[in-house]
A and B are shown apart, each in its own frame.
Chain A
Amino acid sequence: MQTIIPKTLAVFSSLLRADFITQWRNRRSFILLLLVPVIILISWKGIVDKFGGPFALSSCITIGLVAIGLMGYSNSIARDRDKGVFQRLRVAPMPSWCIMGSRLMVQLVMILLLTIIIFIAGKNIDHITLTPSGYAISILTSLVGGAVYLGLGQLIVGLIQNPETVNSTSRLTYFVFIMVGMFGELGVLGDQLKEIVMWSPYGTVKRIIAAGMQPGT
């Protein structure tokens, strides 16, 4: 009997389906990750008037990206690695990139969803509107920015084996990124820190997204 290798596309779509089901079953944690940027957007009416819509939207999207990359992604990878989920998949006849490729694809869809929800909330709550090209480019820059935080999440998971330690490290990193990023950027923590934040992953991603929102400027 001839041994048959399944088609990579069929394998990838099976993995994607399973990963999306898993993500859907964990939707409560995704909603919690979404809640923080949406709450910030709602409570930032003054900031919108002072710094403009793109500043508020890009800050909220960046906060969501940090949460997805550092907490959502890294924790799910650490847990599944600990349980042997990846090991079981690795003995199957498929290219190894399929396993992580499918996981990353799900995260990119989550980033897309986050960006759209922030845009909807911004329009309905703070009446922030962008040009069609502004929306399109900022979705693209959000995906690029999201990749930065997925990379950082992967770094944490690569350096730390224990899922509990990954969980606490990613939470701590998230907290530091958000607090220092948000307040540092506003100049509350001094000019030197403001400069550092501007060139940090938080500041860089935020500025790229904000620039994408105003392609004409």
Chain B
Amino acid sequence: MAMISGNSILQVEGLNIYYGNFHAVRDISFHVLPGEIFGLLGPNGAGKTSTLSAVEGLLKPHSGSITIAGYDTHEKLLYAKAAIGVQLQATSFQPELTVNEILQLYAGIYGVSLDKKNLAEILKSIKLEETAGKKFRQLSGGQQQRVSLAIATLHDPKLVLLDEPTSGLDPQSRRQLWERMEAMREKDHSVLLTTHSMEEAEAVCDRIAIIDHGRLIAIDKPELIIENNKTNPEVIRASRRGKITLEDVFIGLTGKAIRS
């Protein structure tokens, strides 16, 4: 289904993930190009986080291959991990550590030399200069997200994985995050993000893939996905305001039933 691309930063081929007898991800293939923001969309339990976890090396797939920046995760897992920056859905850092200490910890882990000047620049870029000495647990949700994103990009990775990065953020913080993603794209870094927000997918993603019941059911540019599905009766039925939106296509393709 996915185009094979020689210069892709991430190549996922025939990925299958099982949890016991449950087939969570079924033969998924896609690729992400350099400087591309790629969105992974799907209802709850569709297999987005499982796919992302396999890319991050947290889950061992039953079959299939994942190549990050030319490194096969089966053979060169540490190199593949070094090439990615990650913001997990339910990530926290040690609550007793300050923002400064967390940045220093991850700088050490990723082999980044961080002097006072670099540290100040990073803190300035995430607008946390005033809270550098605050413990992580004392930060607001938005501030914690910013720290998490700063750490995900600390080592200048080729690919940044963001798992529902804007969930729970106010509109200002969300816009700021979108701008950060676009800035990454300008530097030719790729972003793979999962999201429930169709608005976000349309606003920032160059291409999106829709996953349902572990299967890839659509992959293309957001406007082309809308264009290719606008005559689908299910999509028309899902349409609420006459004009077909990405959300209508999503509901039309994945159904109206609420997933657990």
Residues of A within 8 A of B (CB): 1, 3-7, 10-11, 13-15, 17-18, 21-22, 25-26, 80, 83-85, 87-95
CA distance A79 to B80 in the complex (A): 29
Given contacts A14-B108, A18-B105, A91-B58, A3 and B88 within 8 Å (CB-CB) = no
Given contacts A3-B82, A18-B101, A94 and B109 within 8 Å (CB-CB) = yes
- Nearest chain B CB to A101's CB is how many angstroms away? 14
CA distance A7 to B109 in the complex (A): 9
Whether the pair A17, B105 counts as a contact (CB closer than 8 A) is yes
Given contacts A3-B79, A80-B94, A87-B91, A92 and B71 within 8 Å (CB-CB) = no
| Overall SS of chain A's interface | helix
Q: Give 1 or 0 for each of B40-70: 1 = CB within 8 Å of chain A CB.
A: 0000000000000000111000000000010
* A11 proximity list for chain B (CB < 8 A): 108-109, 111
* Neighbour of B94 across the interface among A1, A13, A22, A93, CB < 8 A: A22
* B133 proximity list for chain A (CB < 8 A): none
Q: How many chain B residues touch the partner (CB < 8 A)?
A: 33
- Nearest chain B CB to A23's CB is how many angstroms away? 9
A84, A93, A94 pick with most chain B CB within 10 angstroms: A93
Whether the pair A87, B105 counts as a contact (CB closer than 8 A) is no
CB of B110 within 8 A of chain A? yes
* A80 proximity list for chain B (CB < 8 A): 94
Task: Tell me the residues in window 73-116 of chain B with beta carbons closer than 8 Å to chain A beta carbons.
Answer: 78-79, 81-84, 86, 88, 90-97, 101-102, 104-111
Whether the pair A84, B91 counts as a contact (CB closer than 8 A) is yes
Whether the pair A14, B79 counts as a contact (CB closer than 8 A) is no
Whether the pair A87, B88 counts as a contact (CB closer than 8 A) is yes
- Nearest chain B CB to A29's CB is how many angstroms away? 11
* B111 proximity list for chain A (CB < 8 A): 4-7, 10-11
A11, A18, A21, A22 pick with most chain B CB within 10 angstroms: A18
* A25 proximity list for chain B (CB < 8 A): 96-97, 135
CA distance A140 to B90 in the complex (A): 40
- Nearest chain A CB to B98's CB is how many angstroms away? 9
- Nearest chain B CB to A83's CB is how many angstroms away? 4
